[in-house]
Structure 1
Amino acid sequence: MRKGVAAQEAPEMTGERPLQKAEQIYGLLRQAIVRLAMVPGAAISEKELCLQYGVSRTPVREALKRLAEEDLVDVFPHSGTYVSKISYEVAEEGFVIRRALEIESIRRATRFVTEAEIRRLDALIAEMRDILRRDALTDYIEVDDAFHATIAEISRFPRIWKFINLMKAHLDRMRQLSAPVPGHLAEVTEQHAAIVRALERRNADQAELAMKIHLDASFAVMSAMHEDGQFFRRND
């Protein structure tokens, strides 16, 4: 993990409108923060970002403003801008919202799921297993999200996942911290498989139970990260 701006190749942004540039920079920075490429507490230099992306300060400041609104960046006038520390309370709130919506989503999905959609979910699980074999753990969260987003699509309420995604940034950083826990992601993958098999049977109760087991067990592992405290706010 780097302590400053994420080490990624900046896209070509010449000729784009300031709002488009700001949106793109926002997306790249948000991903870097969630994936912990920009670690909690790291200083952010507007000048470095401008050089990295080849833009003026206007789109950079707009991107940072949006990140501050999501509580992912702390801006201290006359002092500096920093990646925010993880708030356990905000992460827990995101988990509670996610759990409630995903339980509703999975129950609805059992009514609509098709064989083609089961194959899509199985393909994502196969991708997760490949990630584990390659030990590319930082890539897991994106495939994990694709899995849950697909269930929301199957439920015919795809905006459920869009809303969850807005609420879970602090939770996602805890997910990333928990990725290296021995055996954790392997267990998560098998929990995903259990969810798919319940969907395949069109059994709403079994699917709900499988989803609850998955989400609750994952959050228990993530919560243990809070005890270390290095990347967390001490007082929220």
Structure 2
Amino acid sequence: MAVESFTSPSVLDLVPRQSSRRSHAVFVTLQKEIVLGALEPGQALTEMELAQRFQCSQSTVREALMQLSEEGLVRRMPHRGTLVAPCGADDARALIAIRRDVECSYLERVLANVDGDVIDRLGDELNAMRNAARDMDEYRLSVHDRAFHTTLFATADLPLVVPILTRCLIHNHRFKILNSQPNRALEETAERHVPIIEALRERDLEHLHAVLGHHISTIVDFGPDLTDDAAAASPQTDTDR
């Protein structure tokens, strides 16, 4: 199998690292391929083939697969190897509901702690999303989108809850990407974050709860409707598409 280069260093630096740099590079590359659908649900992944592909040891691959398993992106089955995890509508619906509850239930804590520095960092993530959208780089847009929401929620100072949110985020994005129509409008996806920043600047709890809840409930606007009556409660504007 041909030698394959790792994901670009700029993307590697965007994803939080929990292992050696080489294992992290394998992890990010496989995460990207699973999120974008290049590795399909149910596809088998073998340590030997991946080690050959990335020109690294099987222990390096094993470490990367363990991280993917912690994210729920692969399933490591005894005596059956590693399979790319399914990406079904029922799971997606449940994860959207969990995410909405996590992000919207602690906004009083967010507003109590948010400051100009946090808002500036959110603005930086928004601009990075815009740049990724213009480059038609859906994975990089997803990375910055997830960073936007984790940065916002981290302001609530509930560190034990953050891993729950990050897992919801990556699976929300994966489902959305795998079920989107071709030529999805990436720039509009980035702009959906503008009302959240504006509500934070206004320090209006009720408005922030409304725009953030609507943002999360309509994450699958470009794919199957999983929002039931949640989206109907708040009319969609051009900015929120």
TM-score range, shorter chain: 0.7 to 0.9
Give deviations 1:201-230, integer Å, cap 9, x for gaps. Answer: 1101100100011111113434359xxxxx
Task: Give the structure-2-normalised TM-score.
Answer: 0.71
Amino acid at match of 2:104: I
Alpha-carbon distance between aligned partners in 2 of 1:92 and 1:61, rounded to the nearest angstrom: 30
Q: Which protein, 1 or 2, shows the higher relative CO under an 8 Å CA cutoff with sep ≥ 6?
A: 1
Alpha-carbon distance between aligned partners in 2 of 1:181 and 1:216, rounded to the nearest angstrom: 21
Alpha-carbon distance between aligned partners in 1 of 2:150 and 2:69, rounded to the nearest angstrom: 25
Counterpart in the other structure of 2:92 = 91
After TM superposition, give the deviation of residue 195 of structure 1 in Å.
0.6
Alpha-carbon distance between aligned partners in 1 of 2:61 and 2:184, rounded to the nearest angstrom: 39
After TM superposition, give the deviation of residue 168 of structure 1 in Å.
4.5
Partner SS state of residue 94, structure 1: helix
8 A Cα contact 1:22 1:63, kept in partner: no
Counterpart in the other structure of 1:229 = none
Counterpart in the other structure of 1:3 = none
Partner SS state of residue 223, structure 1: coil
Amino acid at match of 2:148: F
Alpha-carbon distance between aligned partners in 2 of 1:129 and 1:166, rounded to the nearest angstrom: 23
8 A Cα contact 2:51 2:57, kept in partner: yes
8 A Cα contact 1:137 1:179, kept in partner: no
8 A Cα contact 2:35 2:177, kept in partner: yes
Counterpart in the other structure of 2:109 = 108
Which blocks of at least 5 consecutive residues in structure 1 are unaligned? Answer: 1-6, 12-18, 226-236
Does the C-alpha gap of structure 1 residues 105 and 42 become closer, same or farther in structure 2, counting only changes over 3 Å? same
- When the two chains are superposed, the root-mean-square deviation of aligned CA atoms in Å is 3.4
What are the within-5 Å matches in structure 2 for residues 146-185 of structure 1? Answer: 146-177=147-178, 184-185=185-186
Give aligned pairs, total. Answer: 214
Deviates more, 1:38-47 or 1:55-64: 55-64
Percent identical among aligned pairs is 27
Partner SS state of residue 219, structure 1: coil
Counterpart in the other structure of 1:228 = none
After TM superposition, give the deviation of residue 150 of structure 1 in Å.
1.2
Does the C-alpha gap of structure 1 residues 144 and 179 become closer, same or farther in structure 2, counting only changes over 3 Å? farther
8 A Cα contact 1:128 1:189, kept in partner: yes
Counterpart in the other structure of 1:232 = none
Deviates more, 1:132-141 or 1:31-40: 31-40
Task: Give the structure-1-normalised TM-score.
Answer: 0.72
Alpha-carbon distance between aligned partners in 1 of 2:7 and 2:215, rounded to the nearest angstrom: 36
